Chain A
Amino acid sequence: MADQIGYSQKVMEHFMNPHNVGVIENPDGYGKVGNPVCGDLMEIFIRVKDDVIEDIRFRTFGCGSAIATSSMVTDLAKGKTLDEAMKITRDDVATELEGLPPRKMHCSNLAADALHAAIQDYREKQKKE
């Protein structure tokens, strides 16, 4: 497995037909991680109602695993409470995708970070109001 370069079937499914792609206008929370110089940039938009992630969208520039992890994390977070969503880890995302090649675990598995950033953004906005 250490030599594995190829992606699982699940990764390819999410890569080819990613879920929850797009933008939410005036989102309740917005998170952006990575940068184009490194080759991965993702942004996540959330709509929150009664502490639950009611809608979630993403846009990603990056490799296959960057796109697949973004899609997966939006699936995992949708309908969850903010506290539950904050507990979603990079490993959870990779596991749900039936694994990622080892060298992709760090660089292209930023989706959970983007989700957390979006939740934090929402919480900070709440404090101000």
Chain B
Amino acid sequence: MEERIYLDHAAAMPVHPGVLRFGRQFPGEFAGNPSTLYQEGLAAQEAVSRAREQVASLVGASDTASIVFCSGATEANNIAVRGTALRNAKRGKNVVASAIEHISVLNPAKDLQKSGFSLTLAPVDHYGTIDLDALRKAVTPETVVASVHYANNEIGTVEPVREVAEIVHDRGGILHVDATDAAGRIPIDVERDGIDLLTLSGNQLGGPQGVGALYIRPGVRVQPVLVGGGQERGLRPGTENVFSIACMGEAARLAGEEMPGESRRLRAIRDRLISGITEMEEAYLTGHPTERLPHHASFRFSRIEGESIQLAMDMLGIAVATGSACTSRTLEASHVLLAIGLAHDEAHGSMVATLGRTNSPDEVPRIVRAVEETVKRLRAITPL
């Protein structure tokens, strides 16, 4: 049996071995609740504040108090979109989001419509790059918060965040950027980029699942979506998940340290994958050819369906993702693939490969062969 090849790092990252080593010393030593004043509590407090510094440092936040820990990117996105809109509703009643945001941004934005907000979706071009002219029209003085991600998880396209920030700030709006897929992969500097709120996922940095963080620029007012004991500046009440937070901090530190070398290494593998796969008949790259995440390769194949591709690749020992409707809980076509202009039947045949530290260039020929075999086999069955 050949070794498995894991190509779905955007869905779940294996925990970094350095984080595992770091985490192993934990359970015995730390039993404290950071809200207490005895030694165990202070030690826990210290672990959380070290993590806060490490996360702040990864994204260029000079004020460590600007980092709020929570349960993950979905919660961070909810606090950012809902909490900011509701807290600043006096200013206006409009929310803007790019059409290809993650569902954990789009759903709270849609839900705000029940509270009297209007939602404007800003279109993207066929690469998934936000249309800046359209954004200029979409963001108005009524816009409280605009949410445009740093990079897209399905097609890898990196957005022109600085230009977006200028547009949003010109109209007095607050910019939220979901950096779940970009952080630890490409350099992010919230101050240079003009970002008011930034979402981070612990797992996407190589930390454990179930922990995340929201950067909130000092001065930006946000209200909690969950109320309780006042931890994390009241924005994320509940006893801190000390162990996971500390591990996320260590993951952020390692990600920052390894990013230059690792992104160069993964970019080379990605480019070989892209050229090998797009050589096949009726196989196309989705997303931007150059402005894309270094570890991200995404494709679509005509006349075959993505779930079948995923299953067939799995049988060949390779884990890939697909934006196919058949793999989603709602059985709806990917809103990302439709927003970049694909027809429904084209959106069905997608395959996404996201690389990580376990992948090596030696795997490329086997991956390309497996894709060829899969596509050939499925096309032999198709009536299209």
Q: Which residue of A lies closest to B383 (CB)?
A: A59
Residues of chain A lying within 8 A (CB to CB) of residue B308? 15, 62-64, 67
Residues of chain B lying within 8 A (CB to CB) of residue A61? 303-305, 381-384
B344 & A37 in contact (Cβ 8 Å cutoff): yes
Task: Give the shortest distance, in Å, between A29 (CB) and chain B (any CB).
Answer: 16
Most buried by B among A32, A37, A42, A104: A37
Residues of chain B lying within 8 A (CB to CB) of residue A64? 307-308, 311, 326
- Interface assignment of B74: CB less than 8 Å from any CB of chain A: no
Inter-chain CA distance A47–B312, complex, in Å, is 30
With contacts A37-B344, A61-B303, A61-B305 known, is A15 near B383, CB below 8 A? no
With contacts A21-B381, A63-B324 known, is A16 near B348, CB below 8 A? no
- Interface assignment of A41: CB less than 8 Å from any CB of chain B: yes
Inter-chain CA distance A103–B326, complex, in Å, is 9
- Interface assignment of B163: CB less than 8 Å from any CB of chain A: no
A contacts with B, residue count (CB < 8 A): 27
B345 & A63 in contact (Cβ 8 Å cutoff): no
Task: Give the shortest distance, in Å, between B126 (CB) and chain A (any CB).
Answer: 20
Q: Which residue of B lies closest to A64 (CB)?
A: B311
Task: Give the shortest distance, in Å, between A66 (CB) and chain B (any CB).
Answer: 8
With contacts A12-B311, A16-B312 known, is A41 near B381, CB below 8 A? no
Q: Which residue of A lies closest to B307 (CB)?
A: A63
B345 & A37 in contact (Cβ 8 Å cutoff): yes
A15 & B384 in contact (Cβ 8 Å cutoff): no
Most buried by A among B304, B305, B324: B305
- Interface assignment of B73: CB less than 8 Å from any CB of chain A: no
- Interface assignment of A28: CB less than 8 Å from any CB of chain B: no
Inter-chain CA distance A7–B311, complex, in Å, is 10
B305 & A39 in contact (Cβ 8 Å cutoff): yes
Residues of B in contact with A, size category: 20 to 34
Q: Which of A26-56 contact B (CB under 8 A)?
A: 32, 36-43
- Interface assignment of A18: CB less than 8 Å from any CB of chain B: yes
- Interface assignment of B325: CB less than 8 Å from any CB of chain A: yes
Residues of chain B lying within 8 A (CB to CB) of residue A38? 344
Inter-chain CA distance A36–B312, complex, in Å, is 20
With contacts A39-B325, A107-B331 known, is A63 near B381, CB below 8 A? no
- Interface assignment of B12: CB less than 8 Å from any CB of chain A: no
Inter-chain CA distance A17–B315, complex, in Å, is 12
- Interface assignment of A74: CB less than 8 Å from any CB of chain B: no
Task: Give the shortest distance, in Å, between A121 (CB) and chain B (any CB).
Answer: 15
- Interface assignment of A69: CB less than 8 Å from any CB of chain B: no
Inter-chain CA distance A36–B333, complex, in Å, is 12
- Interface assignment of B380: CB less than 8 Å from any CB of chain A: yes
Query: Which residue of the partner chain, among B315, B324, B327, B345, contacts A36 with CB atoms under 8 Å?
Result: B345
Beyond A38-B344, A39-B345, list 7 extra A-B contacts (CB 8 Å).
A7-B311, A18-B381, A39-B326, A41-B384, A66-B305, A103-B329, A104-B326
10 pairs across A/B with beta carbons < 8 Å? A15-B311, A36-B348, A36-B384, A41-B383, A59-B382, A62-B308, A63-B308, A63-B326, A64-B311, A104-B326
Instruction: In the A-B complex, list the 10 residue pairs whose CB atoms are closest, starting with the nearest.
Output: A63-B326, A63-B307, A36-B345, A59-B383, A37-B344, A61-B382, A64-B311, A39-B348, A43-B383, A61-B384
